[in-house]
Every structure is written in C-alpha cells, then in structure tokens.
Amino acid sequence: MSRMNHPIRRVALVAAMMFFALLANLSYSAVFRDASLDADARNRRTRDAEFAMERGAILVGSTPIAQTKASKGRFNYTREYSEGPLYAAATGYYSYDFARAGLESSYNTQLSGTDDSQAFGRLMDTVTGKKPAGASLQTTLDAKAQRAASQALGTRKGAVVAIDYRTGAVKALVSKPSYDPNELATTDLAAAQQAWRKLNADPGRPLVNRATKETYPPGSTFKLVTAAAALEDGRTADSTVASPASMTLPQTSTKLSNEVDCGGATSTIDHALQVSCNTAFANLGMELGADKVREQAEKFGFDSSLEGDLNPATSRFPASPDKPQTAMSAIGQFDVAATPLQMAVVAAGIANDGQVMQPYLVQEVRNPDLSVLTSNDARELERAMDTDNARALKQMMVNVVTNGTGTAARVGGITVGGKTGTAQWDLKKNPYAWFVGFAEEPHVAIAVFIEDAQVSRSDIAGGRLAGPVFAAVVESMR
C-alpha cells in the first residue's frame, strides 16, 4: 500500500508546487505589474472601463478645450475637443485604438480617476454610490496668445512656444500642420482607424509635435548661448573678436562666410550679435573651447530632459567636437539640435536675470468637487548666468531688435529683445527660419520656428519671417 501511495504523493507535491507558483505569480502581478498591465495599449478591458466613465476636462481659463460627453452605443462617453486643431499640440488625443498623446497621456491616470492620489475619492464614491469621475486639468495657456500664434504662423510648417519667464508657465504651444483630435477620439472605431491611416500617410506629419518633440539646428539663435558663455568667462559686450568677411576653418579647406557686412576685421560681441556675424562667433567659440560652450548650453537645459509635464525631446550639444566642429557649433550648426521649447527656455533664462525656470503646462489638477489635487508652482531649475551678465545680454538682445537683424519683431511701446536665426541643414532644401526673444511687459519669452516658409530660398531670413509672428504673440498679450 505504501508503494502505491508514493507516486500519488509525488503527483500531489508537484500539483501543490504548481499551485503555489500560480499564487506567487498572481500576487506578483497584482503588486508589481498591475499598473503596467492597466497602461498596456492592448488591454481592452482597461480601455472599456475608461470609456465607461466620465473623464475629466482640460481647460484654458474657464473654457473646456477637451471634455467628455454622454454617448449612445457601445460606450457611455465620447471625448470632444471644442477647438481641436488649435490646441492639439497641448491636449494631444484620447483614442480607443491608438492610446493617447499630449496632456491626455501625461495626465491619463488623473483624468481617468485612477491615480493613486485619488484612491480616497474612489472609496468615498463607492460608499456613497456616487458615479466616479476623473479630475480636470487647469492649463497655463493664454487663449489670446494661443490664437495669435496659430494665426500668425498660418499654413506654414513650424512651431511657436511662449513662456512666462518669471515662472516657466507655458502661455502658447502651437505646432503646424495640426490635426483634429476629434477624428481619433470618435467612438466610431472604423472612422478613427481611417483617420489614423490618413494622418500617418500625410507627408506634412501633422501628428508630430514640432514644439516639444522634434529637434532642429537652431542656427544663429544659438549665438545667444555662445555670447552667454563669453560673458560668463569674463568678457564684456564691448570685448572684440576677429570678424573677417570669410575664414577657412582650421584643419579643413571649408570656407565660412558672413551673410552680412560685419563692419571690419574685428567686431565687439555686441555688434556681432546685432548683425549676426558668423565668423566672429565661430572665432569666439574656438577661443572659449567646446567645453565652456557645452557647459553653458547645459545650464540652459541642453542634454537634459527639462523635466516637468511636457516630456520634451532632449536638445543636444555635440559631445566632443574638434576645433572646426566647435566653430560651427558656436553658430548653431554641425550637430547642435534644439526643440523650439528649449530655445524659448534659453530666452526665458536670459530675460529672468539668468535664472532658468522649469517649463510647465498644467497649473492645477482638480477633483470633480473642484478641490485642488495637485498644483505646479514656479520651480527653479538652474542658474545659467550671473545676474549682471544676464542683464548685459538682455541689452544686447534689445540692440538686435532696435538696430540689428530683428527689427521685424518690434512692438510699439514694449521693450523687446531677441535673436534671429537661419539654419542651413540640407543644401538641397530651404533653411529653417527662427526668432527667439522676450518682452519685458508682458513678461514673456517666445521661440518661433518655421520649418517650411513657403517662399523662395533667397527670401528666407529668421527676422523677416519669424519676427512678425513673435510680435503678433506679444501684441496679443498686452
């Protein structure tokens, strides 16, 4: 009898071990994998549950730009965007088959009411029998600035970012071409799939957020960083630097020339910035060396995430450029790459007396009863410059708009400073046009980037094309 029980005991032991392993896996999944499984785009059970509850609104001022409304059919609710294309770069989209983007993604758990910080509210809803609902987002956007930026950019590919340089609050965030999030949020899943295919096939890439998610050569706007490095290294606005009409880059046969008359064989840094003298800043970059220029760029946010709720792409300064590469990097070429957000942060840091603030898009997250769940306050990221040096560079930027290449950005009655940029990236294609600057009242820093100006190559210039867009945004915020 004992021999007969032995195999049975072995089978029972194996069964017990398998049962224990199953319990262990279930426990591990519940504790450690629950959040990732819920967030998995393939988890239809979670998506069905989300579409069965009221998602929180996204607001500009008191106006909802994204909200959930009751729906008939398979889902209880559908997401609606009142001015979809205008705010798409900020809101993103909320779709059954194509997940989320923008604020709909970065604040998904709060909007859906499933965030850990909302656990008590969910418990009280269960006890009282109240229908659960998600939190709302109060954005920092300024409706007038957003509309002015979009209208001034028009049908041209590009982006505009405006920041309150005292706090880091984003006042305008525009990317063109845009798209209508309603087409992806529809509960007609066949129509949403057709819209998805069409948007992804569009050569204009409307789903790409050019303001925060793409990097581009910043061209001469990066001369602000090089000028900042020079001032921090002990030079002044009146320090001189060689500014020949053209120069051969060291160790190469490559010629670097100027687009303008720099006014002689030498130039002050102030005058070189006003006229955007390439050879002067290339020489200045080589004098400083790559390490000092890179250190200055990193103080403004390059080679880091900038943190916050915008989740931007990382702007880059090359890791170990040689001398000619350093010269080109100092004028925003070679492998320097920046988002429009990053260049707005550079201008904001200079305007804020050298203190860089963390950019953010959401001011408050509010429970359905309007109590504040979380809030974003002004947060200092890095001191990029000494206060006196920053004020000297601000005055140099004012001189660019008053007497230099940035006159198209003037706004009557408002002190404005800036820097133009025309970035060559492909000899067979038109260069990019930039304008980066600030206004003292309103306290705003703005980056305007035009990827496709829709004009002939000879007419492309950062000041002429991007400057008026800057001016229009400042004018809207008076």
Which residues are tagged catalytic?
220
Q: Which two tokens stand for residue 94?
A: 């909320």
d(CA 420, CA 218): 10
Closest C-alpha to 224, from 152, 151, 154, 300: 300
Closest C-alpha to 171, from 338, 411, 341, 343: 341
Q: Which two tokens stand for residue 334?
A: 């070679």
Q: Write the CB contacts of 149 (distance below 8 Å, at least 6 apart in sequence).
A: 160, 162, 172, 174, 469, 472, 473
Neighbours of 191 (CB within 10 A): 12
d(CA 93, CA 187): 13
Closest C-alpha to 161, from 58, 431, 222, 169: 169
**Spatial contact of 135 and 58, defined as CB atoms under 8 Å apart:** no
**Spatial contact of 358 and 364, defined as CB atoms under 8 Å apart:** no
d(CA 277, CA 258): 6
d(CA 261, CA 432): 22
**417: helix, strand or coil:** strand
Pairing relationship of beta strands 372-375 and 355-357 according to DSSP bridges = unpaired
Residue where the block lists tokens 């990019």: 432
What DSSP designation does 136 have? E
User: How many C-alpha atoms does 117 have within 13 Å on its Cβ side?
Assistant: 16
Element (H, E) at 145: helix 143-153
In DSSP terms, which residues pair with 160 in a beta bridge? 174, 448
Closest C-alpha to 266, from 250, 252, 287: 287
d(CA 347, CA 416): 11
Q: Write the CB contacts of 102 (distance below 8 Å, at least 6 apart in sequence).
A: 88, 89, 90, 91, 92, 93, 209
**Spatial contact of 148 and 472, defined as CB atoms under 8 Å apart:** yes
Neighbours of 407 (CB within 10 A): 14
